[in-house]
Chains A and B, each alone.
Chain A
Amino acid sequence: MGSLVSIVRAEWLKLRSYRSAFVSLAVFVALGAGFGALTGWGTHHAWATMAPVSRATFDPLATSLSGIALGPIALGGLAVGFITNEFATGHLQGTLLAVPNRTRLVLSKIVVLGVPVALFAILTSFAAVLAFNATIDLAHERVVFAHPGVTRSLVLAGLYIALAVVFAFAMGLLLRKTALALSLFIGIYLAVPIIVQLLPWHWVRVAQPYMIGSLGASMLSAATPADGLNVWVATGLFTVYTVVLTSLGVVRLLRTSL
């Protein structure tokens, strides 16, 4: 156990040594809080002309967190690169000489990525809601922190971003090539849902709520979205996806001669 703590501390030191890590985090915070302000401001101006149905179903919380929902794209590169860069440069050999237990190494990297990112995401979500409330200027459509499900959603936003980041990391662990892993990750997030919408077969759309891109909507709203999964089902499913992908990556790593 003692050594696991040491490995986590070492990986944390390593992550902090890369300037790109700070850049990615800054982009994430700007995106999260910026979209909060932007959507608040946009809603404020559109409210008068909005259709009654849209007004009725308007979800201030989900709207204010729309930048957070894009967070995985801002942080994907950081997460993928945290492992693929070591493959690409040969640095992984040096790392494995110090930490030959590869399972522990992967666990440590996941902790170092996931925990701070989760905390950061919770704070950023909070900031996004505050920014939204400040710009929307419509008292009745502000997010009220005391409302049921709001605090939960802010915490789940942290979990959602952490899971997404670990998922991206696992993609890098399994595929090893930065460009391949990153484009596949972003593709799964952005392109797959669009492609599914464009396909002529209706039954494909049944799968839509189970796709990673849709899970965020379920996890980030206070109520279950119309065509989405229940928040806990979504959280569980995302966890399962991430654990499975990580396990595949670990198995591949354990079998590899470097």
Chain B
Amino acid sequence: MTPIPVIEVSRLTKRFGDLVAVDGLEFSASSGEVTGFLGPNGSGKSTTLRAIVGLNLPTSGTATVNGVNYRDLAYPLRHVGAFLDPKSLPKRLRARTYLRILATSNDIARSRVEEVLDFVGIASVANKRIDEFSLGMAQRLGIAVALLGDPEVLIFDEPMNGLDPDGIRWIRQVFSSLAVEGRTVLVSSHLINEVATVAHRVVVIGRGRLLAQGTVDELTVRIDAAVAFSSHDNEGLVALVRGRGGTVTRSEENSVTVLGLDADTIGQLAMEARIVLTQLVTLRDSLEDSYFELTEQSLDFSVGH
């Protein structure tokens, strides 16, 4: 199955008064894939997801599913399942009652309620009021809500929040199997590790703008890895590194950090100049680091200078 773009966000801008929460954002999420939607706190992830499901009206631009505005869907739950906020669950209702209300509103068979309750594993507590649910149970109920209409498109905002490691593993398996079934799964997170193992593709935003979009591998390669070294002649080696086009980002008594050259090249330079290296490490080779580097400049509240 070739992935086809299903969720399409095009030149999306959303302002709240003077604040530009989303700024000309452009990306897509395709069928048969889990798309990770990443960005630091306040970068506009939730605002974007809300625009896709019609809770927000864009200031300009569009956010569509299969080319259609969510607000124009007569039975939206049959096409798009979304769980964006645990607060959207009515605390005073019983879980089963809430699912029945939702099923009724979208003409979905009652039997689906029991199916999704079983699937997420809360059937035995479904007659409890939602305010008696633990965070993990509420999160599972949210997934049941999203799956209720057996939709082809699924959208989750920080679904791992509050889950224990077991829960996180379970939810990753759910996302993977949904994608294997050919569905489009868009999952936001501010922690890349939460989605790195399941996401086929990631979209990284900062301050409402697109920073990177691609496969996890592409994203890692795109970013320069930093290399740290210490040697018997740091000054000499720094000069050589600079000669080769490297940038020294930090120079301390014992350790020098370089961007733009890999460890291999620096090792070669040291050997040719007969400088004894006492330490040589690649610092940023993980997705986490790539992500950090991408988003660092866009952080609203970077730690002081």
Residues of A within 8 A of B75 (CB): 3, 6
The 8 A CB mask of B85-102 against A (1 = contact, 0 = none) is 101111111100100111
The answer, among A6, A11, A97, for a CB contact under 8 Å with B55, is A97
- In Å, the complex CA distance between A223 and B213 comes to 74
The answer, among A6, A17, A99, for a CB contact under 8 Å with B97, is A17
Main secondary structure of the interface of A (DSSP, over half): helix
In the complex formed, the residue of B with least CB distance to A93 is: B88
- In Å, the complex CA distance between A65 and B214 comes to 71
Asked whether B77 is an interface residue with its Cβ less than 8 Å from the other chain, the reply is yes
Residues of B within 8 A of A92 (CB): 88
Residues of B within 8 A of A93 (CB): 55, 84-85, 87-88
A98 with B88: CB separation less than 8 A: no
The answer, among A11, A86, A97, for a CB contact under 8 Å with B76, is A97
Asked whether B104 is an interface residue with its Cβ less than 8 Å from the other chain, the reply is yes
A89 with B87: CB separation less than 8 A: yes
Interface residues of B in 42-87 (CB under 8 A from A): 50, 53-57, 70-71, 73-77, 82, 84-85, 87
Asked whether A58 is an interface residue with its Cβ less than 8 Å from the other chain, the reply is no
A100 with B76: CB separation less than 8 A: yes
Interface residues of B in 258-305 (CB under 8 A from A): none
Residues of B within 8 A of A100 (CB): 53-54, 70-71, 73, 76
Query: Shortest beta-carbon distance, A28 to chain B, in Å?
Result: 21
Interface size class of B (residues with CB under 8 A): 35 or more
Asked whether A10 is an interface residue with its Cβ less than 8 Å from the other chain, the reply is yes
- In Å, the complex CA distance between A246 and B90 comes to 24
In the complex formed, the residue of A with least CB distance to B131 is: A89
Residues of A within 8 A of B92 (CB): 18
Interface residues of A in 8-49 (CB under 8 A from B): 9-11, 13-14, 17-18
B87 with A98: CB separation less than 8 A: no
Residues of B within 8 A of A17 (CB): 93-94, 97, 101
A96 with B54: CB separation less than 8 A: yes
B74 with A2: CB separation less than 8 A: yes
- In Å, the complex CA distance between A14 and B70 comes to 23
The 8 A CB mask of A77-114 against B (1 = contact, 0 = none) is 00000000010011111101111110000000000000
Asked whether A139 is an interface residue with its Cβ less than 8 Å from the other chain, the reply is no
A90 with B87: CB separation less than 8 A: yes
A89 with B90: CB separation less than 8 A: yes
**With A97-B55, A100-B71 in contact, do A3 and B89 touch (Cβ < 8 Å)?**
no
Query: Shortest beta-carbon distance, A15 to chain B, in Å?
Result: 10
Residues of A within 8 A of B55 (CB): 93, 96-97, 257-258
- In Å, the complex CA distance between A28 and B71 comes to 38
**With A93-B55, A93-B84, A257-B50 in contact, do A2 and B107 touch (Cβ < 8 Å)?**
yes
Residues of B within 8 A of A2 (CB): 74, 107
Residues of B within 8 A of A86 (CB): 90
A91 with B74: CB separation less than 8 A: no
A6 with B104: CB separation less than 8 A: yes
A3 with B74: CB separation less than 8 A: yes
A258 with B107: CB separation less than 8 A: no
- In Å, the complex CA distance between A140 and B82 comes to 66
Interface residues of B in 96-131 (CB under 8 A from A): 97, 100-102, 104-107
- In Å, the complex CA distance between A10 and B148 comes to 15
A13 with B88: CB separation less than 8 A: no
Residues of B within 8 A of A11 (CB): 105
Asked whether A217 is an interface residue with its Cβ less than 8 Å from the other chain, the reply is no
- In Å, the complex CA distance between A84 and B88 comes to 14
- In Å, the complex CA distance between A13 and B91 comes to 16
B50 with A258: CB separation less than 8 A: yes
Residues of A within 8 A of B91 (CB): 89, 91
Asked whether A166 is an interface residue with its Cβ less than 8 Å from the other chain, the reply is no
**With A3-B107, A10-B101, A97-B82 in contact, do A258 and B56 touch (Cβ < 8 Å)?**
yes
Query: Shortest beta-carbon distance, B106 to chain A, in Å?
Result: 6
B101 with A97: CB separation less than 8 A: no
In the complex formed, the residue of A with least CB distance to B81 is: A97
Residues of B within 8 A of A89 (CB): 87, 90-91
Asked whether A7 is an interface residue with its Cβ less than 8 Å from the other chain, the reply is yes
- In Å, the complex CA distance between A11 and B88 comes to 16
Query: Shortest beta-carbon distance, A3 to chain B, in Å?
Result: 5
B100 with A13: CB separation less than 8 A: yes
- In Å, the complex CA distance between A17 and B127 comes to 12
Residues of A within 8 A of B85 (CB): 90, 93
Query: Shortest beta-carbon distance, A9 to chain B, in Å?
Result: 5
Query: Shortest beta-carbon distance, A18 to chain B, in Å?
Result: 7
B77 with A94: CB separation less than 8 A: no
- In Å, the complex CA distance between A258 and B71 comes to 14
- In Å, the complex CA distance between A7 and B77 comes to 13
A14 with B107: CB separation less than 8 A: no
Give 22 CB contacts A-B under 8 Å: A3-B74, A3-B75, A9-B105, A10-B102, A10-B105, A13-B97, A13-B100, A13-B104, A17-B94, A89-B90, A90-B88, A91-B89, A91-B91, A93-B55, A94-B145, A97-B77, A98-B105, A99-B76, A100-B73, A255-B57, A257-B56, A258-B55
List 4 A-B pairs, minimum CB-CB distance, nearest first.
A90-B87, A10-B105, A94-B88, A93-B88
Q: What 7 additional pairs, Cβ within 8 angstroms, besides A97-B76, A98-B102, A100-B73?
A: A3-B106, A3-B107, A6-B107, A14-B101, A93-B87, A94-B90, A98-B106
